[in-house]
């Protein structure tokens, strides 16, 4: 049988002290109120002996806090967002906060409803990876401490932490070009989101800088799903027989593309090369291991939490774009040696 929960009043009665004195010791304010070291030690030892646990609900009501942070994710089935949520949850737990995780299924309408729900729950702050197509509801709730992650709206006053998608896409495209690929398809993600637009912009800039004809490239696709990667690659392989490389703008797209290539009886990279934005641990295990642009997921999560806590403490907002890294494996053929 579990021991009954002891209250501050009961603890004070046992020690023949006032509840105020006990409360001040247990809240870490003994020195502030000049409570003697002997009394402080006595209270702490008794609290430990009787397994005292603070009434968190009462504390929250007193401080007007819930110790809860809302985390809004567009697609928890995407390993990028799943890993991001894991990192954020671990960090918030260290800081004594609980997480209220919601998945908007890449729906702006559902995202809007989610914000109303979180507002009703009186969360202390919000970390949001927006769908990225509409921002009116974000602006409407911007009085709550909030940080955008991955996707963001530069026109809002809400701070964000993301990858430098433009530079990462440029590096990936440059890598293909340096391997002597000039007939390249780019399978994009959710059109009009900032991450997709910046990756497409980086792709186009590299193509232009290296003097490759726009007739030799193709930009197609509609979202960050496996199905998009699969269907778009099937169409590309039927329409563009001279295609030598595919750049997928998301990890899920890459999985679909690789499946389509295999179903068409082609080999990677012998028949067609592939490089993807977003690295995952299992890409070491694909056949062949996939060359990718790795986003600093750990750092994105940690920085987002840090900036959110700064906002909650009344500090100035800040935004960050973090560098991506090329991870070279075996999925891109070096056509210079052919």
pLDDT for the residue 200 = 98
The set of residues, in sequence order, having a beta carbon less than 8 Å from that of 23 and lying 6+ positions away, is: 8
pLDDT for the residue 268 = 98
Query: Helix, strand, or coil here: 153?
Result: coil
pLDDT for the residue 60 = 53
The set of residues, in sequence order, having a beta carbon less than 8 Å from that of 273 and lying 6+ positions away, is: 176, 179, 181, 244, 245, 246, 331, 332, 333
The CA distance from 308 to 262, in Å, is 44
pLDDT for the residue 241 = 78
Instruction: Estimate the crossing angle of helix 194-209 against helix 165-178, to 10 degrees.
Output: 40
Query: Helix, strand, or coil here: 129?
Result: coil
Asked if 75 contacts 128 with a C-beta cutoff of 8 angstroms, the reply is no
How many C-beta neighbours within 10 Å does residue 34 have? 7
Instruction: Estimate the crossing angle of helix 19-26 against helix 8-15, to 10 degrees.
Output: 110
The Cα angle at residue 279 between residues 276 and 283, in degrees rounded to 5: 90
Q: Where would I find the H helices in the chain?
A: 8-15, 19-26, 37-49, 56-63, 79-94, 108-120, 136-140, 165-178, 194-209, 226-239, 251-263, 297-312
User: Could you tell me the pTM of the whole model?
Assistant: 0.82
Q: Of the candidates 12, 71, 70, which has an alpha carbon nearest to the alpha carbon of residue 43?
A: 12
User: What one-character-per-residue DSSP string does 11-56 give?
Assistant: HHHHHT--HHHHHHHHTT-TTTTT--HHHHHHHHHHHHHTT----H
The CA distance from 249 to 62, in Å, is 48
Structure-block tokens of residue 23: 């409360």
pLDDT in tens, the chain (338 residues): 345 578 888 899 999 999 899 888 988 888 888 999 999 999 999 988 988 876 655 555 455 568 899 999 999 999 999 999 999 999 999 998 999 999 999 999 999 999 999 998 899 999 999 999 999 999 999 899 999 999 999 999 999 999 999 999 999 999 999 999 999 999 999 999 999 999 999 999 999 999 999 889 999 999 999 999 999 999 999 997 799 999 999 999 999 999 999 999 999 999 999 999 999 999 999 999 999 999 999 999 999 999 999 999 999 999 999 999 999 999 999 999 76
pLDDT for the residue 280 = 93
How many C-beta neighbours within 10 Å does residue 220 have? 15
pLDDT for the residue 2 = 46
Domains along the chain? 8-54 (1.10.260.40), 63-163+297-323 (3.40.50.2300), 165-295+326-337 (3.40.50.2300)
Query: Helix, strand, or coil here: 277?
Result: strand
Chain CA centroid to CA 220, Å = 25
pLDDT for the residue 103 = 97
The CA distance from 9 to 11, in Å, is 5
């Amino acid at each position: 049988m579990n021991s009954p929960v002891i209250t501050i009043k009961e603890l004070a009665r046992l020690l023949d002290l006032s509840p105020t004195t006990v409360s001040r010791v247990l809240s870490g304010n003994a020195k502030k109120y000049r409570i003697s070291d002997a009394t402080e030690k006595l209270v702490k030892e008794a609290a430990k002996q009787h397994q005292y646990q603070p009434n968190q609900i009462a504390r929250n009501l007193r401080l007007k806090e819930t110790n809860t942070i809302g985390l809004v994710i567009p697609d928890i089935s995407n390993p990028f967002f799943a890993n991001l949520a894991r990192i954020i949850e671990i960090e918030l737990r260290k800081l004594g906060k609980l997480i209220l995780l919601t998945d908007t299924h890449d729906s702006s309408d559902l995202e809007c409803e989610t914000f109303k729900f979180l507002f009703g729950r009186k969360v202390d702050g919000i970390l949001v990876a927006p769908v990225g197509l509409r921002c009116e509801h974000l602006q409407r709730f911007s009085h709550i401490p909030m940080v955008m992650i991955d996707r963001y709206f530069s026109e809002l006053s809400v701070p964000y932490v993301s990858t430098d998608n433009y530079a990462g896409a440029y590096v990936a495209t440059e890598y293909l070009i340096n391997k002597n690929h000039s007939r390249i398809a780019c399978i994009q993600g959710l059109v009009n989101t900032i991450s997709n637009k910046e990756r497409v912009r980086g792709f186009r800039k590299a193509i232009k800088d290296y003097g490759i004809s726009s007739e030799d490239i193709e930009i197609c696709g509609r979202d960050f799903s496996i199905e998009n990667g699969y269907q778009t690659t099937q169409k590309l392989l039927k329409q563009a027989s001279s295609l030598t490389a595919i750049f997928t703008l998301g990890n899920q797209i890459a999985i679909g593309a690789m499946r389509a290539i295999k179903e068409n009886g082609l080999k990677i990279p012998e028949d067609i090369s592939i490089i993807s934005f977003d690295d995952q641990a299992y890409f070491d295990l694909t056949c062949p291991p996939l060359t990718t642009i790795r986003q600093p997921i750990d750092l994105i999560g940690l920085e987002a939490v840090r900036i959110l806590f700064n906002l909650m403490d009344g500090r100035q907002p800040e935004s960050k774009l973090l560098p991506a890294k090329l991870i070279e494996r075996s999925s891109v053929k070096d056509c210079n040696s052919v």
